[in-house]
Chain A
Amino acid sequence: MSTDLADRVETYLRGALERPELQVTGLRRVFGGFSRHTYIVEVDEGPALVARLDPEVSLLESNRTVEFGLYRAMADVAGVPVPVAVLDEDDPGPLGRPFFLMHRVPGTASQEQLLPSPHRDDIGRQAIDILGRIATCDWHKLGVGDLLTEPAEPWRAELDKWEQVVDTHQLGPMPVTRAVLRWLRRNPPPPPRRIALVHGDYRTENFLFDGPQVTAVLDWEMAHLGDPLEDLSWWMLDNWRYDRERPGLIGAFFPREEFVAHWERASGLTADEAALRWWTLLSHVKANAIWITAGHRFALGETGDLAMPVIPWVYVNQQEAWMLAELVAAGGAPAPAAAGATT
C-alpha cells in the first residue's frame, strides 16, 4: 500500500464522510477490467469502500456520473442487487483522477470460481431473473430519464454509435464487420415492445456471487435506454461461454433455448427470433468496436498498457469468425459450402 496515497485518501474521507476519526487500514488496487481503475479502501469501522477512478485511457468512453447515478437509482429496484453508492467526486485531488465511491459487496465475479461451483445453475437463474427485472423496471419513476436519453429508434441509435466507433478506430479494413454493418442497416429489427433500461455490459463476470447468491450487478458504465434484447444478445455472445467443455452453454449456464425461455419468463417479454439475431449481430460489431478501440489507442501512443494491443490481437479475427457464422444463421450470407460451390 502506498502510505502517501492512503494518507491522502484518509484525509479526504474524513472530510467527505464527516467522520474525523476515520482511519484507512488498507488500500490496494484491483486489477481486471479495462475501463475504470479500481481500488479497495479498508476503513476501521463500517464496510470497506470501492473507489472507481476515471482512467487516463479507456477501452471505451463512459460517463462516471451516469454510472454513479445508476447505482443510486437501481438501489430502489427490488431484486436488482447493487452496491451502495456513497459519493461521486469530480475533484482529481485525493486519488489523482475523478472517482466515485461505493460499498464493497462480498462475492466474486471470477469464472474460475463459477465453473466448479455446485450452485452454478442457481446463480445463472438468479442472474437471468435480475436481467428480467432490469428490462422491465420503471426507469421513468427511478429518475433514469434525467441521466439517459430515450432513443426514437433504439436499433438505429446503437448501430450509428458502434459504426461510428469502427469508422474512427479501425486500423485496417474489416471486410466481415463491414458486411455485417451493411446487413444490419438493410434489415432493421422490429421495434421493441418497450423502451427499457439496458445495462450495456450484462454478462458472466460482471456480477458478483457469494456461494449460491448473486450479490451485486456491476459495471453500469455502458447503460443506456433501448431495446431489452440488446442485453440478452450481449450475454449470449460466444465470448462469455466460459465452459470450454460445454461451449453451447450461454454464459456458462444454460443451452440457448433454455436460456432465452428463462429470460422470457423473468421479463414477461417475448424474444422475437429475428430481432434477437439482429441484436446478436450488433453485439458482435459492438465487441469488435471495443477491441479495436484498445488497439487504436495503443497504436496512437495514448497508452503504454500492453493489454491494449493484445486484446484486438486475440479477439478481432475470432469475433469476425463468430459474426460471419451468425450472419449465415440469420440468412444474411451463404453458408461456407454454398459460398464455395460457385468457385
Chain B
Amino acid sequence: MDIEWYLVVSALVFTIGLSGVLVRRNPLVILLCIELMLNAGNLALVAFARMHGSGDGQIFALIVMVVAACEVAVGLGLIVAIYRRRLPIDVDELRELQG
C-alpha cells in the first residue's frame, strides 16, 4: 500500500481522538483519547520511517510510547488522588484552577 493511505488513517484517528478530548467529560476517557492521538502520531512516524527507509522514525515512535506510558502513570495517579478526595470525576466540575 502507498504511504499516503497510512497517513490518511493516521489523520483520521488523530481527528477522532481530538473530538473525543473535546466532547468527553470523564478524565479517564480523555486520557484514552490522548492515547489515540499519540498513536496516530506514531503511525505517521512509522510510515515516514518506511518512506525514507531509515530506522530513526521507529526510534521516535518508541520514545513516544515511553512518553505515553509516563503520561498514563501520572494521569491515572491524579485520577486516583481525585477519587481519594471524594471529588467528582468530571472535568466540568474540577475547575478550581480556573480562577
Co-assembled chains A and B: no
Interface, chain A (partner B; CB < 8 A): none
